[in-house]
Each structure stands twice: as C-alpha cells, then as structure tokens.
Amino acid sequence: MERPDQAIGVIGAGSMAQAFVRGIIASGLVPPAGITVTNRERRDRLEALRAIGVQTVLEKTSLCAKAQVLVLAVKPKDAEEALRELAPHVGPHHLVLSLMAGIPIPFIESRLGGTVRVVRAMANTSSAVRESATAAAGGSHATGDDLREAVTLLSCLGPVLVVDEQALDAVTALAGSGPAYVYLLMESLIRAGAQAGLTEEVARSLALQTVYGAARMLIETKSHPAELRSRVTSPGGTTEAALRVLETAGFEDALVRAISRAKERSQELGAAFGEA
C-alpha cells in the first residue's frame, strides 16, 4: 500500500469480509490493530476477528472516525440501510471500497453524498484461500491513486484486473459465479468416476488433481486452452470419444448460455438499485 499507516474500516463480517481481513493481515500490509470491523448481526464473527487482533465496534461512527479506507462488505439487501447509516460520517478523506455484489457505483455515490471516492470490486469465494479472480472499477470521483490503492488491497485476495464498471456484470457472471461452475464439474467428475468403478475417495483425489493440474498448465505455459486440449486428444483415442459425447450434449453451448444468463441477472439486480 502506498500509505502503510492507513487504517481500514470494514462494514460487514461475512465470508467475503473475513477473507479480505485475513488476506490483508497475512500480506503484512496493515497490522491487525489497524483494522476495525463492525457487523449488525452475528457477534460471534466479530469475536473470531477480535481473537486475531482486529478491533471491533458495534456502531459505525467510531469506525469512520478511525479509518481512511471504508470497505463495504454487506449483503445487497442490507446496502440501503448500511449506506444511510454511514452517510453522515463519510468525508472527503475516505476511500470507499465496495465488495457488494450488484450495487452500482452511482447508487453508492448518491447515498453517500455524491462526491465520495468509490472503487467497486467483484471478487469470488476463492478469496478465502487468497486465490480470487477479482476485477475493480473506479467511480467518477476516484483518482488514479485511489484505484491503485484499492488494487493493492484487493491483491491480498488474489490477482486483480482493472475494468470499466459496465464490465462488472460480465465479471460477476464469469468469475463471481465461476467457482460454482467448477464445483459442479468436480461433482460430475467424481460421480462419473465412482460409477466407472472407482471409490469416491479415489475419484475425488483424481478429479481435484486433474483440475488443479490443468489450471497450472494454462497458467505456466500461457497456452490457449484449445492448444492444450488438442495435445491431449489423440485421433481415435479415449479423449476424442469423450469430447464427442460432450459436444453432442451441447456442453460448451450450455456453459456459454449459463454465463450469459448470469450476466443478465446481474444487470437486472443492478437496474433495480439504479431505479431506487
């Protein structure tokens, strides 16, 4: 971080908030004592964070007074109330980093006073192991330094790409929801392996390593997926026979349509807040 003495205030203590806090601490960017968290419910989550040295409060006034960076990590349904409570305490010295899914930047800006510096990000649940695929976009009043600072913080959760806000619906569909697609694939591989005669334990181990190894190959060789797929697919072999079944079943088309629908749903949710 450009200013290592920055204090961070986190509103929310759910899975994403906890992953963010633990990632920041593990990176050494900010010590636990430099992070303050508040949460309306689930006091047990606050206690868990307090056990690792994080400060916790039950109201937002003192949190805003301590912090220069405010991280919004509440559920979308709680966004309106959280922003209303924050508004009187947010000033020009605050950088607001939103991790709230589907909440557009203009909605946040309007609820916090119009000229607030906002960066919106979309991360995924792999944040818990610091391997999230994350994208970030700056609001109309966020500076280049604001965006760089937000990216530095978010990098504690995994690699970060900077995009325009209108791209975040597609990011949500591909990367935000993406772990669920991979988990479904894993479930299917394990079930198929078991049906083919393997024990579930063996099928799970093989499926996990296969997906992990394939991802590592793509990352380290920087090859196109189609190139690596062709290397595995010998003419007349088992892989070719399997891929023909998937092609006939419409595997690729179904995945493309699923991501398209997820993007549409993200747009629908964002439009609802735009109307609000």
**pLDDT for 29-39, tens place per residue?**
899 999 999 98
**Are residues 255 and 153 part of one domain?**
no
pLDDT tens, residue by residue, 160-209: 999 999 999 999 999 999 999 999 999 999 999 999 999 999 999 999 99
Which has the closest alpha carbon to 19: 139, 126, 165?
126
What range does the domain containing 254 cover?
178-263
Q: Which two tokens stand for residue 204?
A: 């799970």
Instruction: Decide if 85 contacts 70 (C-beta within 8 A).
Output: no
Mean pLDDT of the chain: 92
Left if phi > 0, otherwise alpha if psi is -120 to 50, otherwise beta: which for 3? beta
Q: Are residue 164 and residue 213 in the same domain, yes or no?
A: no
Q: What is the C-alpha to C-alpha distance for residues 208 and 204, in angstroms, rounded to an integer?
A: 6
Quote the pLDDT of residue 276.
Answer: 54
Instruction: Select from 139, 171, 203 the last residue of a domain.
Output: 171
Model confidence, pTM? 0.88
Could you say which residues of the chain have pLDDT below 70? 1-5, 275-276
Residue at token pair 């296969």: 210
Task: Please check whether residue 131 lies inside any domain of the structure.
Answer: yes
Contact present, 119 and 96 (Cβ < 8 Å): yes
Burial class (CB in 10 A: 0-12, 13-18, 19+), 259: middle
Let me know whether 26 and 134 are in one domain: yes
* Residue 168 CB contacts under 8 Å (≥ 6 apart), including other chains: 120, 122, 135, 137, 266
| Same-domain status, 188 and 125 | no
Residue 272: inside a domain: no
Could you tell me how many residues make up the chain? 276
The DSSP H or E segment spanning 8 is: strand 8-11
For residue 9, the model assigns a pLDDT of 96
**Co-location of 242 and 218 in the same domain:** yes
Give me the half-sphere count of Cα atoms (radius 13 Å) on the Cβ side of residue 120: 24
Q: What is the DSSP string of 66-134?
A: H-SEEEE-S-GGGHHHHHHHHGGG--TT-EEEE--TT--HHHHHHHHTSS-EEEEEE--GGGGGT---E
Given 171, 190, 218, which residue is the final one in a domain?
171
Give me the pLDDT at residue 11, please: 95
User: Which helix (H) or strand (E) is 12 found in, with range?
Assistant: none
